[in-house]
């Protein structure tokens, strides 16, 4: 069933839901989406969110055992080039060295979904780009991860678990717009243009280490109405402490992961498997968000470790 769900996901998310396409406000050649909202002025404004100086690592540690949507996996091999059988004694008489070889999918653990990850039902991605024109087996020729500028913005943590008086929100449970607005009101929070919005459900803190198989087989998630609301707010990115952002098991197998195309086709990045537990424990609500993904040309997603500063 897991593999059936995966191939349904690939099919529907490479298709999605779009009727009509309108070019970005930044022009038909834009590939950065709402990251264009970042400016010198917005960064200086975001710095005002720093109060204590405490830093948080939002990335999870990943390895070959990290749960991932099948068939995703990774392997790491450590080697000592040119040093076999003492060869390095002549080549490197003053040192010993290790190198590493990474082989795997870039959408594992804490990750950012680029704008080339998911398109609409007719195969149209952000800014009216057709997948058939830019998705090559050797990499994307448009909307690749390398097009993402440094992401420095005000971050907002919405603690949905606390608002709903739960240690964690269970897999399969949805979050609706009324709950989001209630959680924001309870903390006196507002979402502003250019923000990075991250949901804390408690799912990763509760399950990632203690029950990894359960963590990777389901998740709570936002309803499309929240994605539409955040689209109107013109945020830069939306994330959660879940691997899916959307709810799993999916509500409708004919339309799985519906928040993804709403956000990505409108230039809004998705952050998955964010490690928000410590921030939530500390009662952090807004913070400085910093992320610079590795610039691998043509990549669709990237394993990341965003930094939050309170």
Which domains are seen in the chain, by residue range? 2-71+107-309 (3.50.30.50), 73-104 (no CATH)
- Whether 5 shows a pLDDT value over 60: the answer reads no
Mean pLDDT of 47-61: 99
Q: Which tops the pLDDT comparison, 1 or 40?
A: 40
Q: Give, as one character, the DSSP assignment of residue 47.
A: G
Mean pLDDT of 289-294: 98
Give the model confidence (pLDDT) of 185-217 as tens digits. 999 999 999 999 999 999 999 999 999 999 999
Q: Which of 146, 71, 67 is nearest to 109 (CA)?
A: 67
Q: Which residues contact 138 (CB under 8 A, 6 or more apart)?
A: 298
Mean pLDDT of 142-153: 98
Give the model confidence (pLDDT) of 110-130 as tens digits. 999 999 999 998 999 999 999
- Lowest mean per-residue pLDDT among 17-21, 38-42, 87-91, 250-254: 17-21
Residue pair 208/282 in contact (Cβ under 8 Å)? The answer is no
With cut-offs at 50, 70 and 90, classify the pLDDT of residue 94.
Answer: confident
With cut-offs at 50, 70 and 90, classify the pLDDT of residue 19.
Answer: low
Q: Which tops the pLDDT comparison, 109 or 70?
A: 109
CB count in 10 Å sphere of residue 8: 15
Output the average pLDDT for the chain: 93
Instruction: Report the pLDDT value the prediction gives residue 86, as an integer from 0 to 100.
Output: 72
- Alpha carbon 163 to its chain centroid, in Å, reads 23
Instruction: Report the pLDDT value the prediction gives residue 83, as an integer from 0 to 100.
Output: 78
Tell me the backbone φ, ψ of residue 277, rounded to 5 degrees. -55, -45
Dihedral over Cα of 258, 262, 265, 270: its sign: negative
With cut-offs at 50, 70 and 90, classify the pLDDT of residue 158.
Answer: very high
CA distances from 74 to 59, 168, 175 (A): 16, 28, 31
Mean pLDDT of 41-64: 98
Mean pLDDT of 295-305: 98
Q: Which residues contact 7 (CB under 8 A, 6 or more apart)?
A: none
SS3 248: strand
Mean pLDDT of 17-37: 89
Instruction: Report the pLDDT value the prediction gives residue 88, as an integer from 0 to 100.
Output: 65
Helix 224-233, helix 177-187: angle, nearest 10: 50
Give the model confidence (pLDDT) of 245-260 as tens digits. 999 999 999 999 999 9
The model's pTM is 0.92
- Whether 132 shows a pLDDT value over 60: the answer reads yes
Instruction: Report the pLDDT value the prediction gives residue 14, as an integer from 0 to 100.
Output: 43
Strands 221-222 and 237-240: unpaired
Q: Give the span between the Cα atoms of 223 and 210, in whole angstroms.
A: 27
Residue pair 224/249 in contact (Cβ under 8 Å)? The answer is no
With cut-offs at 50, 70 and 90, classify the pLDDT of residue 173.
Answer: very high
Which residue pairs, CB below 8 angstroms and at least 24 apart, start in 251-258? 251/174, 253/5, 253/8, 254/12, 255/12, 255/17, 256/5, 256/8, 256/9, 256/12, 256/13, 257/9, 257/12, 257/13, 257/118, 258/17, 258/224, 258/227
Q: Which of 43, 20, 111 is nearest to 72 (CA)?
A: 111
- Whether 72 shows a pLDDT value over 50: the answer reads yes
């Amino acid at each position: 069933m897991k593999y059936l769900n995966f191939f349904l996901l690939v099919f529907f998310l490479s298709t999605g839901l779009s009727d009509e396409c309108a070019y970005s406000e930044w022009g038909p050649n834009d590939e950065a989406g709402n990251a264009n909202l970042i400016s010198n002025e917005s960064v200086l404004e975001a710095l005002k969110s720093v109060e204590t100086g405490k830093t948080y690592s939002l990335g999870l540690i990943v390895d070959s055992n990290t749960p991932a949507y099948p068939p995703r996996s990774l392997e790491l091999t450590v080697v000592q080039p040119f040093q076999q059988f003492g060869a390095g004694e002549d080549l490197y008489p003053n040192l010993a060295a290790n190198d590493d070889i990474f082989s795997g999918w870039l959408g594992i653990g804490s990750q950012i979904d680029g704008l080339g990850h998911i398109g609409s039902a007719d195969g149209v991605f952000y800014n009216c780009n057709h997948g058939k024109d830019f998705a090559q087996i050797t990499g994307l020729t448009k909307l690749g991860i390398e097009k993402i500028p440094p992401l420095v913005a005000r971050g907002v943590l919405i603690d949905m678990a606390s608002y709903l008086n739960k240690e964690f929100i269970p897999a399969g449970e949805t979050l609706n717009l009324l709950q989001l607005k209630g959680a924001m009101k309870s903390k006196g929070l507002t979402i502003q243009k250019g923000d990075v919005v991250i949901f804390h459900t408690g799912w990763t803190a509760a399950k990632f280490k203690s029950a990894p198989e359960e963590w990777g087989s389901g998740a709570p998630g936002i309803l499309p109405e929240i994605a539409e609301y955040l689209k109107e707010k013109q945020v830069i990115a939306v994330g959660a402490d879940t691997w899916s952002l959307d709810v799993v098991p999916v509500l409708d197998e004919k339309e799985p992961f519906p928040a993804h195309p709403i956000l990505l086709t409108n230039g809004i990045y998705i952050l998955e498997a964010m490690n928000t537990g410590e921030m939530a424990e500390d009662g952090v609500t807004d913070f400085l968000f910093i992320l610079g993904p590795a610039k691998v040309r043509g990549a669709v997603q990237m394993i990341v470790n965003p930094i939050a500063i309170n």
